[in-house]
Structure 1
């Protein structure tokens, strides 16, 4: 088997476990807080929100630091640092006895995180250029699958074995995934060459990369994707209740609507990544941005659960073409030797979208409702598409297929 394929299989498994571990606490987090002695509903809700968001706050701040070190000392080193570190922190979460313990551990987890951007940077360096799209799409499907199945596994295991053992199991699996990466993943990183390059600060690296007009617009796609999806996500159960009523199977339908976007995303990502290898990543990105923008509009007009289900499924299909195309194009426009830093800034944009989406969506929903949020998301994606179209036109280092797509 080709070396890049072995890397892809191992890193897919790692991405699945990392994202699954991040999201599997969602179903039982409030219950875990109650087990720690907090019973006031408002305090439980506040702690749950703060604890869940803590990981994204520190991740946003520290990703560029790890990206810079990866470009200097190697992507695999950063991959293993993050994998083994998160395995330890995840295990310690099972030993937390107060919400403060859990909050600080989630913050620490965000500090040492970086497995996913390191995996993306490593794959971008080891994959043949004509297979980049399918590799990025397949790698993303691992993270998406973990995000989808993490809450499901977390809920099932919480009923079966209790809360604390889940963290021990997850930590053990992350440790195994990191061991597999240590022995099976091969990096093409040239340490001697990297050491000869002058050291750059985070700020100077960002200034240098931001001068390449294509990169800020690509980072904006990642931010807008997460912002658009998560701005309405906390309100989906209430919207389902509005459409379905308070009858039986309400929780089931809410979960179904919430996860269907991820399922279609997981299916579409490798397919659209392969299409990007043939037609050009810029073309797939443009079509996916417009398609996702249009897919938000029917959600504002639905009258029953199944209409919402169908439109959310369609949204996931177009979302599946966004991040793989962004990741492929980031590598295309990033100068050699700065790949990890470039991907780390993209990861920070993702974390920022994860933080701001639910906060702003919840704040404005009282004025415009969830239907209005869907329309706002559509408008943001259309504006983002126009910016991306303008910035990528005639960009340097584009492939013949991508130049053809822009003409």
Structure 2
């Protein structure tokens, strides 16, 4: 049976939603036991173990921030599907190889190599963005965000269960197998129908890409928005469990409660991202983003004054709704305001902005907590979101008007 253009993009969306769900599991399932795995690779003092854990965790982001634009450029020339296959197959090998390392240096190098092969999710989003009708792009990218978030939520639970049932090393092998499954799904069932390779020499340079944009100020405003969103969200991560411990007066099952509270925003995002995307397609994506900013400002500020973990958990769950209004919808605006021929480049720049935010956020949160208090982290984060809203109004909404 001959497939219509509509059936092709819908099938791509279904297959890639499953693939990024699998990738979300694979990327997050090794996180809970990674420091414990590092501890089996040598004899470390407490200080050195923390140092290596930080390096192994963050190394991937440093590399990815620099390499994502290079892969985005290649995606615009050779195709997004090819970049999806490159990333999934490369990371399948690298993650499996982490199960056979004999020292922490080898693990660190492989994490850096994993960063080199990054780009699976961003190129999957770029393919969906270019293949999906513009009027459906918000809902489609919201679906992709929900799928990846769901995988990220399940990953730590699955990883912990696998590590308990087998071993750390076997869990890495299984993780590699999951990414291989994602590779095979994309190889056989994803079809890039509308790809037109960039042939212009002018568009091979970043300057050429910028001149091809109708509203470069809008695009760079959105990239800055992504960076600040990620920095604000991740500024909380280093201190959540410590804040929980303080609220529980250092008694009870702090680890379990912290895990539940850390998962709550993702659950809310999973439930609503696609729905908010569809609403944005009807009333204007920028309105959804502004609502997300306003909600985040209020919720972060209130979180500084909670008295118990129930209040903290409730507010963190509500933050997940604002998350669903922000990052997926920024990608939607990028899609609607970028020429299809350079979408890979634009999405890769957005990915780099996200990685830089991932690096800066935890550093900022830790510094504020060390200099002041956990409550002050949430207050400063609220101020950062206010700044983001102002910049979004100046750089994006004014450009759209």
Q: How does 1:129-140 map to 2 (within 5 A)?
A: 129-140=134-145
Deviations 1:25-65 (A, max 9, x none): 22111211121123322111111110010111100000000
Q: In structure 2, how many angstroms separate the alpha carbons of the residues matched to 1:12 and 1:88?
A: 22
Give 3-state SS (helix, strand or coil) of 2:339's partner: coil
Against the structure 1 CA distance between its residues 28 and 372, is the aligned structure 2 distance closer, same or farther, given a 3 Å change threshold?
same
Shifted more, 18-27 versus 6-15: the winner is 18-27
2: distance between equivalents of 1:38 and 1:154?
24
Match in the other structure for 2:327: 323
Match of 2:344 among 328, 340, 359: 340
Aligned partner of 1:240 among 229, 244, 263: 244
For structure 2, which runs of at least 5 residues remain unmatched after alignment? 1-5
Shift, 1:6, TM fit:
1.3
Q: For 1:90-169, what aligned pairs fall within 5 Å after superposition?
A: 90-169=95-174
Q: 2:301 aligned with 1:297, yes or no? A: yes
Do 2:215 and 2:399's aligned partners in 1 also have CA atoms closer than 8 Å? no
Over 4 Å off, 4+ runs: 206-211
Q: How far did 1:209 drift?
A: 5.6
Query: Cα–Cα, structure 1 residues 360 and 210, in superposed 2: closer, same or farther, change >3 Å?
Result: farther
2:42 is paired with a residue whose SS is coil
State the alpha-carbon separation in 2 of the partners of residues 205 and 53 from structure 1: 29
Structure 1 CA distance for aligned equivalents of residues 207 and 201 of structure 2: 17
In the TM superposition, residue 161 of structure 1 has moved relative to its aligned partner by 0.7
The residue that corresponds to 1:265 in the other structure is 269
8 Å CA contact 1:24–1:153 kept in 2: the answer is: yes
Aligned partners of 1:212 and 1:333 also within 8 Å: no
TM-score for both structures, normalised by structure 2: 0.94
The match for 1:54 is 59
Q: For the residues of structure 2 that align with 1:171 and 1:68, how far apart are their CA atoms?
A: 26
2:397 pairs, out of 380, 393, 396, with 393
Deviation at 1:245, TM superposition (A): 2.1
Q: 2:88 pairs with 62, 80, 83, which one?
A: 83
Q: Is the 8 A contact 1:145 1:263 kept in 2?
A: yes
1:224 aligns with 2:228: yes
Partner of 1:41: 46
Counterparts in 2 of 1:199 and 1:219: CA distance versus 1, 3 Å: closer
Instruction: Compute the TM-score of the two structures, normalised by the length of structure 1.
Output: 0.93
- Structure 1 residues not aligned, in runs of 5+: 397-402
Deviation digits for residues 139-179 of structure 1 (CA, Å, limit 9, x no counterpart) = 01122122222222111211111101111111111111111
Q: 1:212 is matched with which residue?
A: 216
Partner of 1:400: none
What does residue 363 of structure 2 align with? 359
The alpha carbon displacement at 1:204 in A equals 5.2
How far, CA to CA, are the matches of 1:172 and 1:26 in structure 2?
A: 17
383-392 or 259-268, larger mean C-alpha shift? 383-392
Q: Partners in 1 of 2:207 and 2:43 — Cα distance?
A: 42
Q: The residue matched to 2:198 in structure 1 has which SS?
A: helix
Matched, 1:67 2:67: no
Q: Distance in 2 between matches of 1:206 and 1:98?
A: 44
- Matches of 1:287 and 1:85, distance apart in 2: 39
RMSD (Å) for aligned C-alpha atoms: 1.8
Cα distance in 2 for residues equivalent to 1:96 and 1:203: 42
Q: CA deviation at 1:189?
A: 4.0
